[in-house]
């Protein structure tokens, strides 16, 4: 797998997991799931910051607005 394909795959997996956890919030009983959601959001934000072509590849949005913690 090439660099771009790998980064796109990681981006897709993080977004899929965040969608699965969309309804989880900090008040939820399942704090493990909330921790997962926070970690996925942080990873996606990091990817958005370090990947030069992030915006060209679909990371052109405010992650915490779309997937609020």
Whether the per-residue pLDDT at 69 is higher than 80: the answer is: yes
> Could you read off the pLDDT of 21-32 as tens digits, one per residue?
999 988 878 899
Could you tell me the pTM of the whole model? 0.89
> Could you read off the pLDDT of 27-61 as tens digits, one per residue?
878 899 999 999 999 999 999 999 999 999 999 99
- CB 52: neighbour CB atoms within 10 A? 7
Which tokens hold the place of 6? 């790998």
Residue 29 gets which letter from DSSP?
Answer: S
Give the model's pLDDT for residue 35.
95
Whether the per-residue pLDDT at 1 is higher than 80: the answer is: no
């Amino acid at each position: 797998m090439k660099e771009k394909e790998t980064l796109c795959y990681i981006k897709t997996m993080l977004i899929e997991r965040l969608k699965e956890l969309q309804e989880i919030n900090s008040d939820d009983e399942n704090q493990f799931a909330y921790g997962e959601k926070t970690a996925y959001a942080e990873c996606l934000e990091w990817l958005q910051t370090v990947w030069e072509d992030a915006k060209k590849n679909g990371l052109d949005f405010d992650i915490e607005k779309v997937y609020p913690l």
